[in-house]
Amino acid sequence: MTTSIPSATAATSTAAATAVSEDGENGRSDETGETGEISQTSGAAETAGAAETSGAAETAAPARRTGRRRRGGLSPGKRLPASRLIGPVLFFALWAGASAAGQLDTNAIPAPWTVLRTAGQLWSDGTLSTDILTSLRRAGSGFALGLTAGVVLALTAGLSRVGEALIDGTVQLNRAIPTLGLIPLFILWLGIGETFKIAIIAIVVYIPIYLNLYSALSGIDHRFVELAEVQGLSKLRFIREIVIPGALPGFFVGLRLGVTGSWLGLVVLEQINATSGLGYMMFQAQNYGQTDVILVGLLIYGIFGLVSDSAVRLIERRVLSWRRTLNS
Amino acid sequence: MATHTEQLTSRPAPSATTAPAAPAVRLRGLTRSFDGRTVLDHVDLDLPAGQLTALLGHSGSGKSTLLRAIAGLDHEVVGSGELSAPDRVSVVFQDSRLLPWRRVLDNVLLGTDGKEAAERGRAALAEVGLAGRERAWPNELSGGEAQRAALARSLVREPELLLADEPFGALDALTRIKMHGLLRELWERHRPSVLLVTHDVDEAIVLADRVLVLDQGRIGLDLTIDRAHPRSYRDPLLGEYRERLLAALGVTEDHTGSEAHPDQEDHQ
Ligand SMILES: Nc1ncnc2c1ncn2[C@@H]1O[C@H](COP(=O)(O)OP(=O)(O)OP(=O)(O)O)[C@@H](O)[C@H]1O
Ligand SMILES: [Mg+2]
């Protein structure tokens, strides 16, 4: 189909060059200094992401190439299969080897099989599953709350000047206070039950999510703003089709930091103010000198962290599939 | 300096074949300044509907400023003057400006809707030689392909006025020549008014029916190029135009590389 344009009917209308509201235009420069630290984190994470997805181009150099061998370039090359597991497996092998050789003081560091046997016993008691559930519920509720708050606040601050004026400074202030320092105050306010723990975890989670998403939303490339104007996008479509998709990479950086934060918050809370959960189990074990139980707790924390991070990575790769094609 | 129309021949301009009655773009006393520095100084200009006009000028002479004013993209710029432009305006930028998170077809369709929009998008992609690449990601396209996709995006809106700011500036010489052919062909088929900002004198001569030189905030030279299309880059007759334009830009071709003074413009 060919489109044709009636050339003579140039219905001219005065293009009003009046000032349009500035919202969402000029990149806001004020966050650069304050979130510098986060940006740095994001940079590192993006590099890691890029490394993860590159490599296809590096495979299979032509067989007939002689003389100067084709070098791998600066890309780290194709990812080894299941490479993420190599480090942990090696670590466990060393631990098991040293235990079997009797090189480790079993009171300080019990052998891996002792730890596993203890885990089995605790599981059949039924205590371990209750503790795990309690901890998961805490981390999960705190994370969900923090995620919601972070996203809602960042959207409000990133998409409206009024929201920005009200929210951004407040969050920056909140961020300057070490969240774990709020524990005593929160215990007084909310009691030593579940509520204060969830609240603290939510705060630890929302801050990185807010900072990264807000900075991604407000740092939208000015060239795309111009493009949206030229293409006649409405404000709503501009936000939906350009601002939000453009901010997703930043959001995922924040999300991963948030997930890590939820576990960090959980561990600290349960170690200091334990009344139930995995931390409580470990706290009790400390009183009785049961290093194997402490190691069971640490192991489970580690698995939680690893699994949740992998889940976020997986979602990120699905959602940001367009990034895979970045030529590396 | 008054705006003056110059012609090398006394014959009427070929643009007379398209109705010159209502200009697509009309500027009167258009002034724009940045921090008190006047970049456009009372520019008067009519672009007839359906004409392909090229705009030359030194770097920093205000070509982009003029184009952005016509496109209505200069909200924060201080200025005055009268400006009228059509409703349907498309802009092609120097970078293709494709959204990396949308596939090529979805990029072409940005800002359009309706049932047959996708059909038109496909047709536009086919016109620029990108049929079959609808589902590609922008990052998978070469520079020339990306720029062709950007051209398709601007065509899909059936613009009455197409503004292009150095659309081929980032392309290699070979691709650029192919893109010239494509642009001319698309223009002949759809007949929008085109304002093409360029650095490249030859590009302007080969493509445009009319070449403007922006100098010190004014249209310093307004040259109608009266040669049949397609034009060859080696056509010696175009040399005359080239010299005239280079002189207006303050460049002489006497291999010394020295800059000519404005008053040398009338030497030849
Ligand atoms: N947003 C801005 N703020 C301040 N000065 C500006 C701005 N945009 C343009 N200028 C100034 O206006 C003058 C004209 O700029 P413009 O971009 O129109 O030049 P140009 O002719 O397109 O140059 P080039 O060929 O290099 O693209 C330049 O001196 C530039 O520094
Ligand atoms: Mg320019």
* A229 at B interface, C-beta within 8 A: yes
Residue where the block lists tokens 């014959």: B11
Is residue B1 assigned to a domain? no
Give CA–CA dist B141/B134, Å, rounded: 11
Is residue B147 assigned to a domain? yes
Mean residue pLDDT of chain A comes to 79
Pair (B248, B167) in one structural domain? yes
Instruction: Please say whether the beta carbons of A44 and B54 come within 8 A.
Output: no
Distance B186 CA to ligand 1 centre (A): 29
Mean residue pLDDT of chain B comes to 84
pLDDT digits (tens, 9 = 90+) for A69-123: 566 677 777 777 777 788 888 998 999 999 999 888 888 889 999 999 999 999 9
pLDDT of residue B21: 60
Q: What is the DSSP letter of A239?
A: I
Which parts of chain B have pLDDT scores under 50? 1-20, 255-268
Q: Detail the DSSP E strand segments found in B115-265.
A: 161-165, 193-197, 210-215, 218-224
Instruction: Please say whether the beta carbons of A312 and A252 come within 8 A.
Output: yes
Question: Span A288-298, mean pLDDT?
Answer: 93
pLDDT of residue A107: 85
- Residue nearest atom 20 in ligand 1 by C-alpha distance: B60
Cross-chain Cβ contact A227/B24 below 8 Å: no
Pair (B234, B129) in one structural domain? no
Domains identified in chain B, total number? 2
Give the start-to-end residue ranges of the domains of chain A: 37-75, 126-319
* B79 at A interface, C-beta within 8 A: yes
Nearest CA in chain B to A320: B101
pLDDT digits (tens, 9 = 90+) for B96-121: 999 999 999 999 999 898 888 999 99
Pair (B72, B181) in one structural domain? yes
Give CA–CA dist A138/A194, Å, rounded: 7
pLDDT of residue B17: 47
- The domain boundary, picked from B136, B158, B180, lies at B158
Is residue B212 assigned to a domain? yes
pLDDT of residue A276: 85
How far are the Cα atoms of A168, A210, A214, B45, B76 from residue A158, in angstroms, in the given order? 9, 10, 5, 41, 21
| Partner A, chain B 223-242, Cβ-Cβ below 8 Å | none
ipTM of the complex model? 0.82
Pair (B231, B116) in one structural domain? no
- Residue nearest atom 18 in ligand 1 by C-alpha distance: B62
Give CA–CA dist A56/A119, Å, rounded: 42
pTM of structure = 0.76
Is residue B8 assigned to a domain? no
Is residue B34 assigned to a domain? yes
Question: Given a cut of 50, is residue A27 above it in pLDDT?
Answer: no
- The domain boundary, picked from B158, B178, B210, lies at B158
Pair (B151, B176) in one structural domain? no
Pair (B83, B186) in one structural domain? yes
- Ligand minimally distant from the alpha carbon of residue B199: 1
pLDDT digits (tens, 9 = 90+) for A215-240: 999 999 999 999 999 999 999 999 99
Chain A interface test: which of B66, B75, B84 (most A C-beta within 10 Å): B75
pLDDT of residue A325: 53
pLDDT of residue B245: 87
Question: Given a cut of 70, is residue A46 above it in pLDDT?
Answer: no
How far are the Cα atoms of B105, B205, B232 from residue B180, in angstroms, in the given order? 23, 11, 11
Pair (B116, B225) in one structural domain? no
pLDDT of residue B267: 43
Is residue B10 assigned to a domain? no
Instruction: Please say whether the beta carbons of B38 and B178 come within 8 A.
Output: no
Instruction: Please say whether the beta carbons of B161 and B88 come within 8 A.
Output: yes
Q: In which domain, by residue range, is B40 found? A: 16-88+159-252
Nearest CA in chain A to B116: A1
Q: Which amino acid is at A22?
A: E
Question: Given a cut of 70, is residue A326 above it in pLDDT?
Answer: no
Name every residue whose Cβ is closer than 8 Å to that of residue A192 and which is 6 or more positions away in sequence. Answer: A273, A275
Instruction: Please say whether the beta carbons of A20 and A296 come within 8 A.
Output: no
Fold assignment, A126-319: MetI-like fold (1.10.3720)
Question: Span A149-163, mean pLDDT?
Answer: 95
Residue where the block lists tokens 């998709």: A245
Q: Which residue has the higher pLDDT, A12 or A115?
A: A115
pLDDT of residue A25: 36
Q: Which amino acid is at A130?
A: T
Give CA–CA dist B10/B213, Å, rounded: 20
- Reference A180, options A154, A207, A153; nearest CA is A207
Q: Detail the DSSP E strand segments found in chain A.
A: 12-14
Task: For residue A244, name the pLDDT band (cuts at 50, 70, 90).
Answer: very high
Choose the closest CB to A233 out of B74, B111, B124. Answer: B111
Question: Given a cut of 70, is residue A131 above it in pLDDT?
Answer: yes
Question: Given a cut of 90, is residue A241 above it in pLDDT?
Answer: yes
Tally A–B CB contacts below 8 A.
128
Is residue B69 assigned to a domain? yes
pLDDT of residue A71: 61
Give CA–CA dist A233/A203, Å, rounded: 36
Name every residue whose Cβ is closer than 8 Å to that of residue B25 and which is 6 or more positions away in sequence. Answer: A12, B45, B46, B47, B70, B83, B84, B85, B86, B161, B193, B195
pLDDT of residue A67: 53
Question: Given a cut of 80, is residue A195 above it in pLDDT?
Answer: yes
pLDDT of residue A268: 87
Question: Given a cut of 80, is residue A61 above it in pLDDT?
Answer: no
Virtual torsion, Cα A241, A247, A248, A252, nearest 10 deg: -170
pLDDT digits (tens, 9 = 90+) for A271-290: 887 788 999 999 899 999 99
- Residue nearest atom 17 in ligand 1 by C-alpha distance: B64
